[in-house]
Amino acid sequence: MTELQRTRPFRAPRPARAVGVLLLLGVVLAGCSGQKSSFHFEWDLFINSILQPDDQIKAGLVLTVVVSIAAQLIGVVLGIFAALGKMSKVRPIRWFANVYVWIFRGTPLIVQLVFFYYGLGVAKIYLWPDITIGPLTIEGAIQAGIFALGLNEGAYMAEIVRAGILAIDPGQMEAARALGMTPGKAMRRIVLPQAARVIIPPLGNEFNNMLKTTSLLFVLGVVELYNVFNIKQGQSFRPFELFLACAVWFLLLTTIWGFIQSWIERRLARGTPGAAAGGPGVRARMLSFRRPPIDASVVSGGR
Amino acid sequence: MTQIEETNLLDAIGGVPLASTANVVEVTDLHKWFGRNEVLKGISMMVKQREVVVVCGPSGSGKTTFIRCVNHLEKIQQGRIVVNGHLIGYREENGKLVADKERNIARQRQEIGMVFQRFNLFPHKTALGNIIEAPIQVRGVPEDEAIEMGRKLLARVGLAHKEEDYPAQLSGGQQQRVAIARALAMRPAVMLFDEPTSALDPEMIGEVLEVMKELAREGMTMIVVSHEMGFAREVADRIVMMDEGLIIEEGTPEHFFTNPQQERTKSFLSKIL
Ligand SMILES: Nc1ncnc2c1ncn2[C@@H]1O[C@H](COP(=O)(O)OP(=O)(O)O)[C@@H](O)[C@H]1O
Ligand SMILES: [Mg+2]
């Protein structure tokens, strides 16, 4: 628990209030902007981009959220496998998992993105054709983006999942095996469900990052939330208003996610008798620079 | 050998689980090294059906390691362990022992109940959930049957009212009784206990020992690592004294408490009695 929380009990602000704060921030910035030059702030453009988003903005929003969720899901699955791989008794599996994590954490995401899309495409290894499912067509660039983001995320999730598994008392695995469970079943039924409680807070932070990181997909020509505004400012030459609005949208997404995350963590804490209630509140989470530490006490049974 | 007794605790699991061999546990010349440290230096022990063996000895003498070897939570470097007719952890190929598959080892462990010093209940499952997990997941017992058996077991260890409680809501003594019920639910041929009361507050030791005494009286085959000499005197058929990785003395409680032969046994007993 941070100082902030202890000294000032936190009243959850309504999302509406958060929007108000953001708009105020815009006003202050806009006020500063006109002082020294002939620049004047186009209020309508800024306000309408937020309060009356056009179809492009809406589409960008949806794409950002969908890509984030898809990539995060891939990341979680890969992360679980990579974590188990890192802890495997079989040396080649361990080696493979370590190399995977090493490569994807050791190279820039933007390089991974362009490599998987343009690199593989030009080398004719995989051409990323559009996929049509019913009325929906998913562009190759979006697929490549989700794929690369997911692979990258899996490398980070591997460490988080591994830390979660290691936080569980080895006696749990032993008790499960003493009852005749195979190591795989003991992991699935006994260890991973307990590790999940440890993993979920840092997983939430990863998703917060993911929401913002999707903006890198603009290098593949994907028109997600950032790229929508990037294109708009290229046409209208109003980068100040438009990027400010873009920032407000991202801030809204991450703030809403912050509320959802706190809600999830409170529910998890409720399901764990004897556990300290909840993780950091939304304000502490959004304002703090550090990641909340993994809290093993949430998991260990009382004795 | 097939008569099933009407018993109190064990009728919750359909009576005394009868072993398929006269000796439920046969350990011969067991050696165990941790790296270069030889912790067990040639242990042999036969445990017959319905026999209760209490193992004692100073801290670090290898009691925990021994009991963990019996269900292969530790690999062994030399010797043979046979439980209920099955060679544990290894199979014989052309006269040589080779490590067995995890699946086979898991199957062998189903016949061996284990109760840990620190209970090791599953904190994300209720008392009942802890008990029915392995019967359903491992033995494939239908859920309603497992629940019925689990409720009976909980009632017999005096915790009928706690079935919905999570381990963190239970006292140490209650947790250990759930842990005993959890092990019994697999209908093991033998129960292993590793100092089951040494992590408990003194006022809770009695309730756990009562359950264990009941089990012993009803004919459960048991190996119990314990320094509870009152318990040993009352229910043990044999007491085994270990020191520095060897069994240095064994005999009936009568022999042990009135006429111990070894100096080390005498000095050990004088410390704990
Ligand atoms: N996992 C392990 N790795 C290395 N040494 C161990 C391990 N477990 C136990 N030992 C050593 O083996 C010896 C016997 O330990 P243990 O079986 O726990 O004794 P006891 O239960 O009789 O107190 C001790 O010297 C201990 O340090
Ligand atoms: Mg011990």
For residue A118, pLDDT beyond 80: yes
Q: Name the token pair of A147.
A: 């794929």
- The type of residue at A127 is L
Q: Mean pLDDT, chain B, as a whole number?
A: 93
Distance from CA of A79 to the nearest CA of B (A): 23
The domain segmentation of chain A, as residue ranges, is: 49-287
Q: How far is CA A205 from CA A37, A199, A260, in A?
A: 40, 10, 12
Indicate the pLDDT class of residue A277, thresholds 50, 70 and 90. Answer: very low
Indicate the pLDDT class of residue B201, thresholds 50, 70 and 90. Answer: very high
Indicate the pLDDT class of residue A303, thresholds 50, 70 and 90. Answer: very low
CATH number, span A49-287: 1.10.3720.10
For residue B114, pLDDT beyond 90: yes
> Which residues are B240's β-sheet partners?
B55, B250
H or E segment at B169? Answer: none
Stretch A97-116: mean pLDDT, rounded? Answer: 97
Is A179's CB within 8 Å of B123's CB?
no
Q: What ipTM was reported for this prediction?
A: 0.93
Report the alpha-carbon distance of residue B107 to residue B93 in Å, rounded. 19
Name every chain B residue with its beta carbon within 8 A of the beta carbon of A300.
Answer: 123
Is B59 touching ligand 1 by the criterion CB < 6 Å?
yes
Is B109's CB within 8 Å of A273's CB?
no
Indicate the pLDDT class of residue A249, thresholds 50, 70 and 90. Answer: very high
Indicate the pLDDT class of residue A37, thresholds 50, 70 and 90. Answer: low
For residue A294, pLDDT beyond 60: no
Stretch B127-151: mean pLDDT, rounded? Answer: 97
Predicted pLDDT at A28: 77
Ligand 2 ion: Cβ-proximal residues, 5 Å cutoff: B 64
**Closest ligand 1 atom to Cα of B242:** 22
Stretch B15-43: mean pLDDT, rounded? Answer: 93
* Best probe residue, ligand 1, of B30, B33, B34, B37 (max atoms within 8 Å of C-beta): B34
Predicted pLDDT at A265: 87
For residue A280, pLDDT beyond 90: no
The angle subtended at Cα A240 by Cα A236 and Cα A246, nearest 5°, is 90
- Who among B124, B134, B167 is closest to A179 (CB)? B134
For residue B150, pLDDT beyond 50: yes
Q: Mean pLDDT, chain A, as a whole number?
A: 86
Predicted pLDDT at A7: 46
What is the per-residue pLDDT across A156-195, written as a single tens digit (0 to 9) for each? Answer: 999 999 999 999 999 999 999 999 999 999 999 999 999 9
- Who among A172, A178, A273 is closest to B169 (CB)? A273
Report the alpha-carbon distance of residue B80 to residue B100 in Å, rounded. 13
- Pairing relationship of beta strands B37-48 and B23-34 according to DSSP bridges: antiparallel
What is the per-residue pLDDT across A250-261, written as a single tens digit (0 to 9) for each? Answer: 999 999 999 999
> Which residues are B160's β-sheet partners?
none
**Residue B60 alpha carbon to ligand 1 centre in Å:** 6
Among B260, B156, B141, B151, CA closest to B207: B156
| Closest residue on chain B to A193 (Cα) | B124
Report the alpha-carbon distance of residue B175 to residue B101 in Å, rounded. 32
pTM value is 0.83
Predicted pLDDT at A278: 45
Is B118's CB within 8 Å of A174's CB?
no
Is B122 touching ligand 1 by the criterion CB < 6 Å?
no
